[in-house]
Amino acid sequence: MTSATKFGIDRLLADPDLRKPLAGKRVALVAHPASVTESLVHSLDALAACPDIRLTAAFGPQHGLKGDKQDNMVETGDETDPAYGIPVFSLYGQVRRPSARMMAEADVFLFDLQDLGCRIYTFVTTLLYLLEAAAAGGKSVWVLDRPNPAGRPIEGTTLLPGQESFVGAGPMPMRHGLTLGEMGRWFVDHFGLDVDYRVIAMAGWQPDAAPGFGWPQDRIWVNPSPNAANLNMVRAYAGTVMIEGTTLSEGRGTTRPLEVLFGAPDIDAKAVLAEMERFAPDWLAGCGLRECWFEPTFHKHAQHLCNALMIHAEGRFYDHHAFRPWRLQALAFKAIRRLWPDYPIWRDFPYEYEFDRLAIDVINGGPALREWVDDAGAAPGDLEALAARDEAAWRETVAPLLLY
């Protein structure tokens, strides 16, 4: 980056004029471990130190304000902050939608979460639920904007009506290309929300600038959730998150979760890669793939040696505009299905509080990807046609909402 990037929290702290509308208001903060200033001070501490801000509550999303909860559907309880004596409410515990009692604690809600640019990352849905609660209660929501570290590329099919869930807030593709500040603008517009909504925009963010392509080189990465450990994971996530809906390991229980296309004791990774190259070679572009082995310490296939393909969307292997992780992951599933037609790929278990649909369909917002994988006659062009149409429509829809 040619100049320092200022995130929303940094601009709010530096500019008294931006804070003026907060005078006399009770302020709540929605935050997690990556909610830090450019000096690595947590936003809660930084805001508490501002004499003209009256903090009365804090909220933690999935994985908690502290980010200590490892897996999905592991809930966090409410507590009282020991330093400031304010309530800390969990939006991934007894409720996922903030209750009227929670909303009564503040007038303005500052939303300062680092996102990954993927529909399934639940902080997107938490923003929608907060906006809806604020609209119902006459409250204000300010997004202190942060980068979309996956950048502007858009990929995946659109979530279908009736397929909404905590990992599917609305009709958007898997990789949405927006910051959360921009996403909030879309929510307000799409759902017709009557709410006082503001974005404290970033200064100097250049989403197309190399080498970060979304993540500024003058800012360090802090995990927003336990398995979001680096930029390689962020880039791959719009594809690898789909493994959560399968019997295959996504690498949980290792030091590089969600950076592999699959892991399993009974799959030949080299054979899968060869089949991927035969079936849809163009979908492998923009990254390096490497056979690897791992033994998860917990989660799927724990204590069993797994063969896998590691994704390297980094360094000289990364082409930001060619890399399409959703297609790459779909291709890995397809190759497994073509090599072993009876392999039990799809995992049938409750996923993010959805009990009546296959997890892979909840994740994708519909059955199209699973049906394409399972259809022996389906060609790459069949899935391409569905996705390309939806991607183009989303790109047109959100163009007027972009802030950068």
Q: Determine the pLDDT at residue 70.
A: 54
Residue indicated by tokens 């970033």: 202
User: How far apart, in whole angstroms, are the C-alpha atoms of residue 225 and residue 121?
Assistant: 10
Tell me the pLDDT band of 120, cut-offs 50, 70 and 90.
Answer: very high
Q: pLDDT for 372-383, tens place per residue?
A: 999 999 999 999
Average pLDDT of the residues in 59-71? 74
Average pLDDT of the residues in 66-72? 58
Q: Determine the pLDDT at residue 403.
A: 98
State the sign of the Cα–Cα–Cα–Cα dihedral 334, 339, 342, 348.
Answer: negative
Q: Kindly report which listed range (190-204, 304-318, 347-361) carries the lowest average pLDDT score.
A: 347-361
Name the strand (E) or helix (H) holding 81: none
User: How far apart, in whole angstroms, are the C-alpha atoms of residue 231 and residue 214?
Assistant: 10
The whole-chain average pLDDT of the chain stands at 95
Helix (H, G, I), strand (E, B) or coil at 381: helix
Q: pLDDT for 230-282, tens place per residue?
A: 999 999 999 999 999 999 999 999 999 999 999 999 999 999 999 999 999 99
Tell me the pLDDT band of 2, cut-offs 50, 70 and 90.
Answer: very low
Strands laid side by side in the 288-294 sheet: 260-264, 306-312, 288-294
Domain ranges, ordered by start, for the chain: 8-226+396-401, 231-384
Average pLDDT of the residues in 385-399? 98
CATH architecture of 8-226+396-401: 3-Layer(aba) Sandwich (3.40)
Percent of the chain beyond pLDDT 90? 91
Average pLDDT of the residues in 56-74? 75
Q: Determine the pLDDT at residue 69.
A: 54
Q: Tell me the chain's radius of gyration from C-alpha atoms.
A: 21
Q: Determine the pLDDT at residue 351.
A: 85
Does 8-226+396-401 match 231-384 in CATH topology? no
List all residues 6 or more positions away from 233 whose beta carbon is below 8 Å from its beta carbon: 227, 240, 256, 257, 258, 259
User: How far apart, in whole angstroms, are the C-alpha atoms of residue 381 and residue 386?
Assistant: 9
Give me the helix-helix angle, 380-398 and 325-339, nearest 10°: 160
Give 3: exposed, middle or buried? Use CB within 10 Å, 0-12, 13-18, 19+: exposed
* ∠ Cα 185 360 90 (to 5°): 50
Q: pLDDT for 164-222, tens place per residue?
A: 999 999 999 999 999 999 999 999 999 999 999 999 999 999 999 999 999 999 999 99
Please state the pTM of the whole predicted model. 0.95
The answer regarding whether domain 231-384 maps to CATH 3.90.1150.140 reads yes
Cα–Cα separations (whole angstroms), residue 365 to 159, 171, 344, 349: 4, 8, 21, 16
Tell me: pLDDT of 66 over 90.
no
